[in-house]
Amino acid sequence: MSTRIVLHEADIARALTRISHEILESNKGPDGLVLLGIPTRGVTLANRIGALVEQFGGTAVPIGSLDVTMYRDDLHRNPTRAPQRTHIPDGGIDGKVVVLVDDVLFSGRSIRAALDALQDIGRPAAVRLATLVDRGHRELPIRPDFVGKNLPSSREERVNVRLIENDGSDSVTIEGR
């Protein structure tokens, strides 16, 4: 199996900076934003983006996490991790612009599950999607609003996101057979 690095630490930092600026521009500032990361690495990325949005926009935005494990439609086919904690920031999501943050967008099933989970929590004014890597192969009509890197890949390849907070280093790799 061959592995190649497609994003280094500086590339990830640049992508998150760009995503943060695009979120602020799209929302016309930080007011009314809520960032919700999808565990595990989506939460880490939401925290990084939140820090950058605060730096560039001058105001802290609420950050939380949204576990989608029990909303997935493929639990019977794919082994899953134990459900993690969902944390909705004080003030909730009603009437807010919620930006879902995930590390890799692939089939779209995690995001569909996140939309179902949001429905049980409240009614946002709008939902946007930020992802570090969009690798294609969508099975559902879901498209990210903010993308760090479009990474064409085959279904047989595996994209791995490593973040300092979770893994000790920052990189995105692709493994092929």
Check residue 125 and give its pLDDT: 98
Check residue 93 and give its pLDDT: 98
State the angle between helix axes of 41-57 and 9-27 in degrees (0 to 180), rounded to the nearest 10.
Answer: 60
pLDDT digits (tens, 9 = 90+) for 53-85: 999 999 999 999 999 988 877 655 666 666 778
Helix (H) or strand (E) holding 100: strand 97-105
Range of the domain at 79: 2-176
- 17 φ, ψ to 5°? -65, -45
CA triplet 51, 162, 177: central angle to 5 degrees? 150
pLDDT digits (tens, 9 = 90+) for 116-137: 999 999 999 999 999 999 999 9
Helix (H) or strand (E) holding 19: helix 9-27
**Two structure tokens written together for 123:** 């009614």
1, amino acid identity? M
| Cα torsion through 97, 53, 131, 73, rounded to 10 | -40
Which residues is 3 bridged to in the sheet? 175
What is the CATH classification number for the domain harbouring 171? 3.40.50.2020
Share of the chain above pLDDT 70, in %: 94
pTM exceeding the 0.85 threshold for the entire prediction: yes
- Residue 74 and residue 80: Cα distance in Å, rounded? 9
Q: Is the pLDDT of residue 143 over 70?
A: yes
Check residue 84 and give its pLDDT: 78
Check residue 83 and give its pLDDT: 74
CA triplet 153, 159, 161: central angle to 5 degrees? 145
Domain count, the chain: 1
Which residues is 2 bridged to in the sheet? 176
Q: Classify residue 59 as left (phi > 0), alpha (psi -120 to 50) or beta.
A: beta
